Structure 1
Amino acid sequence: MRIPYSWLSDIVPGLPSPHSTADLLNSLGLSVEGIDEIPAAPASVVVAEVQSFRPLEQNPTLFEVCVSDGSRSRSVVCGAPGLYVNMRTALALPGAVLPGGAEAVKSQSIAGLHSEGMLCSPKELGLYDYSGAWLSSRTMRRPERSLPSFGRLRRCLN
């Protein structure tokens, strides 16, 4: 399991450096196998705000989601649950190549609807292994900012 160092330092203010924190956790019997430096997301991954969403009639496990990326509204088809209005999360715009991805995100038709990008889980961004949650953070104050400016998530203890 990866735990962002920034999250630990939010819970426990005044933590020493990531390496010293790992040594401390190991001395307490909480095994830390290493510290991963997570690469920044591509510049074409931005913060988007969910404006509305609805399940598709022909496939209720998919949602048509309207998001604002700060410059305009976009329609995205998404299969992940847990969306809510005003949620701010990561949006990979067409052309973005995600970590571990061989192909760029495309503007394409999914289930008969035009999808202008991809809402991303932390796993899809290479931040940590769990794909069942959204990257929704208080550091994402407004749409339009690119994720590379959010450097607080870049060191993870695992």
Structure 2
Amino acid sequence: MRVPVEWLRSVVELPAEATTEEIADRLTMYDLKLEEIVGGGITGPLTVGRVLAVQPEKQKNGKTINWCRVDVGPERNEPSVPDAPGDDVPSRGIVCGAHNFGVGDLVVVSLPGTHLPELGFEIGSRKTYGHVSDGMICSTRELGLPDDETSAAGILVLEPGSATPGDDAVTVLGLGDQTLDLEVNPDRAYALSLRGVGRDAALAFDVPFADPADRPVPSADTPAYPVRVEDPEGCPVFTALVVSGVDPTAPTPAWMARRITDAGMRSISLTVDVSNYVMLELGQPNHCYDRDRLQGDVVVRRAREGERLARRRPRAGAGGRGPRGRAAGRAGRRHPRAGRDRGGRGAGPRRRARAGRPPGADQRRADRARGGPAHVRAQRLHGRARR
């Protein structure tokens, strides 16, 4: 169970001075063993910048890059970058290959000396495409953030007015937040939710616990969509609630998407994210139906003999079977019977050794079946011809 510490603090009044390590130690005393602490690994000058000028430049390889002038705040700007586009004002010159941003946009800039765990190395100032790129304009993936419709194409563009050039991007985006990865025993299923872990944390620190489930709910007499339960023994309770006024095309709030991602799930869409958020916080599985697409009552029953669950056809390259029954696995993966994945012929020496066979064993076996290595067979044929 992944528990974002920031989310945990929203349901438990933990002492402000309590560190993540101390919280983990206290929870371990309540039999919630810590596997690892995730996140909070960004170091160095990660700052908010404003794009002042963008100059597209076509390269010999056919790629178009953007040579940009970016304002990163008075304390971090260089006094002059004469070869950058636009007016020569204090700023930084940065080369960027993405195209989903423009002049005036607020972006996140990784200046030289910044270490991003998602990349695994420290950003430096280097010459590329004929310019000295003095930093990097960051994407969501490089920052470990979930994508949305605005950032999936490349750079993370911040909301106008949400920050100013020079602001600490780690603070603005909550990138310093850490997550506890806890091992939950089968008899502690309540701890598979923020509510359950929060209750134990409140006991461990002897502090008040604000139960997220303690809130007004609609009356049982409230009109809802009709549900028919045909197996009351298997499903004694099925609760339905109609929620109206929701725009399913609206983006998920950034804070919610961040919490869901930190908890180990992927942000998908507003309705799906709200459903998953409730499940993670309360530990109650639930599902959202599109009322316009429902036909008749929602029926809860056992499967009948011969019935099969319908499933979507997988996207090309997303696993499963493709046209005509051909395997359509993910790029970079081989069928489990392929030789390379089992240490067979074509695999490297280390993989073959791990598979229990020394390097060259498969080749020697094949040579014996053919009557020896190729150069030995050639010598034998040559000798026969001479005789």
Give the TM-score normalised by structure 1: 0.67
Q: Which moved more, 1:46-55 or 1:96-105?
A: 96-105
Tell me the alpha carbon deviations over residues 103-122 of structure 1, each in whole angstroms, 9 at most, x when there is no partner.
Answer: 21110001110100000011
Partner of 1:95: 113
1:143 Cα offset (Å):
0.5
What is the percentage of aligned positions where both structures have the same residue?
Answer: 29
Which residues of structure 1 form unaligned runs of 5+? 1-15, 18-36
User: Contact 1:40 / 1:147 at 8 angstroms: preserved in 2?
Assistant: no
Partner of 1:143: 165
* Larger relative helix fraction: 2
1:49 Cα offset (Å):
0.2
Tell me the alpha carbon deviations over residues 16-61 of structure 1, each in whole angstroms, 9 at most, x when there is no partner.
Answer: 97xxxxxxxxxxxxxxxxxxx7547434110000000111243551
Going from structure 1 to structure 2, the CA distance change for 1:38 and 1:156 (only over 3 Å counts) comes to farther
Query: Does structure 1 residue 51 correspond to structure 2 residue 73?
Result: no
User: Contact 1:43 / 1:148 at 8 angstroms: preserved in 2?
Assistant: no
1:100 Cα offset (Å):
2.4
The structure whose RCO (Cα within 8 Å, separation 6+) is larger is: 1
1:83 Cα offset (Å):
1.8
Partner of 1:155: 259
- The one of 146, 153, 170 equivalent to 1:132 is 153
User: Contact 1:106 / 1:117 at 8 angstroms: preserved in 2?
Assistant: yes
> C-alpha distance in 1, partners of 2:49/2:105?
8
Larger radius of gyration: 2
User: Contact 2:42 / 2:115 at 8 angstroms: preserved in 1?
Assistant: no
> C-alpha distance in 1, partners of 2:44/2:123?
13
Partner of 1:11: none
Which residues of structure 2 form unaligned runs of 5+? 1-9, 12-37, 78-90, 175-253, 266-387
Partner of 1:79: 97
Going from structure 1 to structure 2, the CA distance change for 1:155 and 1:38 (only over 3 Å counts) comes to farther
Tell me the alpha carbon deviations over residues 67-116 of structure 1, each in whole angstroms, 9 at most, x when there is no partner.
Answer: 00012200000001112111001000001111222221110001110100
User: Contact 1:124 / 1:131 at 8 angstroms: preserved in 2?
Assistant: no
* Larger relative strand fraction: 1
Give the TM-score normalised by structure 2: 0.29
Task: State the one-letter code of the partner of 2:165.
Answer: P
1:156 Cα offset (Å):
2.7
Count how many residue pairs are aligned between Structure 1 and Structure 2: 124
> C-alpha distance in 1, partners of 2:141/2:152?
5
> C-alpha distance in 2, partners of 1:40/1:104?
12
Query: Does structure 1 residue 116 correspond to structure 2 residue 134?
Result: yes
Going from structure 1 to structure 2, the CA distance change for 1:104 and 1:43 (only over 3 Å counts) comes to closer
